[in-house]
Amino acid sequence: MKASLAEALKHAAPIVTRVVGGRSLADELVRLPESEERAAVVDLAHGTLRRFGRVQFLSRALSHREPADETVQALLWCALYALDSGRYSEYTVVDQAVRACTLLEKWNAKGYLNAVLRAYLRQRASLEIRIQMDAEARFQHPAWWIDALRTAYPDSWEAALLAGNTHPPMTLRVNRRRSSVAEYLARLAGEGLSARQVGPDALLLERPVPVSRLPGFADGHASVQDAGAQLAAGFLDLAPGQRVLDACAAPGGKTGHILERAEVSLVALDADASRLERVQANLARLGSSATLLAADCTDLAAWWDGNPFDRILADVPCTASGIVRRHPDLKWLRRPSDAGNFATRQGGILDALWHALAPGGKLLYVTCSVFPEENGEVVDGFLNRTKGAHLLALADGAASQRLPDGERDGFYYALIARQA
């Protein structure tokens, strides 16, 4: 374990350095080779960025001067997270962080790391009191983000922020064409896996497991998809024979769910041709098929044949602020202006897709954002400028905005009908 932690810290620190510099954590981890330490590296990178506000605060509080070397700084952040994680003994973390300096050829930093980490262990209680006085350190989000949620959700902003700092739940979507929820629950139990139902097709696992342990996964009996994301197919009000467009389809979770729910003619569209390969792979595993097109959904002339759609799913690009527990780097890479920039793009997508919706048809607008600027404000603006568009109640009767909680990520849904 000791050698493993030092090696993990050696790989995690440069990853965190690059992410703080603007790189995507997901892209960095894709390039991470398989090794005995890979799981620990992923945990250290995710955990450090999930608690970035806290480790930054601790680093500043404990150091009279921050190291000029960015990798050493990141190594300290990762080590502070490792101490807080409870996965290792205190001695192991301090010892292995110092050893990681050698592995990274940062020999001059060994004394610095040792001194700062030991100071943290001595001052932990007093530092915890100070953390409660610092919003970014306490809530693990940038100050502007905290202010935005406090303004938008005065009664629930703290719960939403805290949910964004948790480990994401692992939820399965049972393919109702292959199995019932009850049947699949029994299959899970037979494999020693505990789960409970949290949606019509959704099973929340007691603890995450590799997909290789899921019975029938390779044969399409189940998929991994958040319970909040699974709401889309139900809200679309699908019926056999409908012509359906999934306008921003990749990676294909909602595409597959639509085809599991109803016998429809589906066009799956995405601007990135390479991402459509993943959609095709998902559909092949499920035994489903759709027409896949690589094009910008706003450029109708490039892809639309003029035949209108009965249903359109517009799962639009957004800040992804409702799913940051899955992508913790986003909290620190986003800027206050991003929501407004996305809103402009989102409004343009609605305007374009409206032309492809049949009279009497329905369009479901979806984001995985918690910022009103991308959600209600975009929809209100569209309704005000679009003749014949009106908002419908969602099938479950709940509000459009769903904040993240212990069972679901944060999503926004608005169902818009076109007058017949």
**Which residues are marked as active site?**
368
Is the alpha carbon torsion for 62, 13, 16, 410 positive or negative? negative
**Strand ranges, E, within 49-183:** 171-174
Q: How many CB atoms lie within 10 A of CB 129?
A: 8
CA–CA gap between residue 87 and residue 40 (Å, rounded): 10
Nearest to 362 by CA among 200, 230, 244: 244
CB-CB contact of 204 with 238 (8 Å): no
CB-CB contact of 52 with 136 (8 Å): no
Angle, CA 205 vertex, CA 282 and CA 213 arms, to 5°: 60
**Strand ranges, E, within 240-367:** 243-246, 265-270, 291-294, 309-315, 357-367
Q: Which residues pair with 362 in a beta bridge?
A: 311, 417
CA–CA gap between residue 290 and residue 282 (Å, rounded): 11
Scanning the structure block, which residue is given the tokens 């329905």?
362
In single-letter form, the type of residue at position 205 comes to L
Nearest to 408 by CA among 206, 161, 169, 136: 169
Backbone angles phi, psi at 193, to 5 degrees: -110, 130
